[in-house]
Amino acid sequence: MFTVRKTHNLIFMKFIYTTLIIFSAFFNTYSQSKATIAMSINQVKKIYPNMESATYEKTITLSRTENLYGIEGEWGYRFKNDTLNWIHFDKYIDEINDTNFRNCLSATRKIIADFTKVYGNPDTTITGDTSFIDPYQKKHWGYDVIEAQWKNYNGMKIKVEFTFMGGKGEYHFLVKINYFDKNYPYYD
């Protein structure tokens, strides 16, 4: 009787473990947007229903939150004349410490790896200082950590970056993703 109960517990634990792996794989999909530049607002709403909407001048921005590798940020989809012309994800982190720095760096590297699987190797990869420099121990004005750019993937410019922003005693970690039309002039 004891071995039967132990066997059932073992089978149950394997079932739970397998379920967790499948569940996490389902929610840990690639981090890129499923929407693409030049889609209509209705096409994007079909992909991401129930998004919040904001209007500014002649543009409409739809937004939604998503957790990308531990970074809870917001996606924005900006439309001009019913055409998607900018997709962005960003997360500002104000708690400046080594753990948050490492989390941002790790998430950004995973996002770049995801994008590389889908979009191919980046046209440009810039690696700055990937070590945490505590601005309260050693003063600095912030620095670029890592960036990858795809300059023309199916008519889109794509940039993924992690920046340690700083100045005048204010510091933030910023993880950012941008998609633009390939003709967007202010990309770099």
Domain extent listing, the chain: 1-30, 34-181
Q: Where does the pLDDT of residue 188 fall: very low under 50, low under 70, confident under 90, or very high at 90 and above?
A: low
Stated pTM of the model: 0.80
Looking at 27-41, 66-80, 173-187, which range is the least confident one?
Answer: 27-41
Instruction: Give residue-wise pLDDT tens across range 48-102.
Output: 999 999 999 989 999 999 999 999 999 999 999 999 999 999 999 999 999 999 9
How far is CA 154 from each of CA 37, 84, 115, 177, 181, rounded to the nearest angstrom?
A: 9, 14, 14, 17, 9
Instruction: Give residue-wise pLDDT tens across range 111-123.
Output: 999 999 999 999 9
Residue with tokens 């809870």: 72
Say how far residue 90 (Cα) sits from the centre of its chain: 7
The mean predicted confidence, pLDDT, of the chain is: 85
Confirm if 135 and 165 have CB atoms less than 8 A apart: no
The rounded distance, in Å, linking the Cα atoms of 79 and 2 is 64
pLDDT for the residue 164: 98
When pLDDT is averaged across residues 145-170 and rounded to a whole number, the result is: 93
pLDDT for the residue 185: 72
Looking at 5-19, 118-132, 166-180, which range is the least confident one?
Answer: 5-19
Q: Is residue 153 over pLDDT 80? A: yes
Q: Is residue 35 over pLDDT 70? A: yes
Which residues of the chain form beta strands (DSSP E)?
52-56, 59-68, 71-80, 83-93, 124-127, 142-153, 156-167, 170-181
Q: Is residue 17 over pLDDT 50? A: no
Confirm if 76 and 87 have CB atoms less than 8 A apart: yes
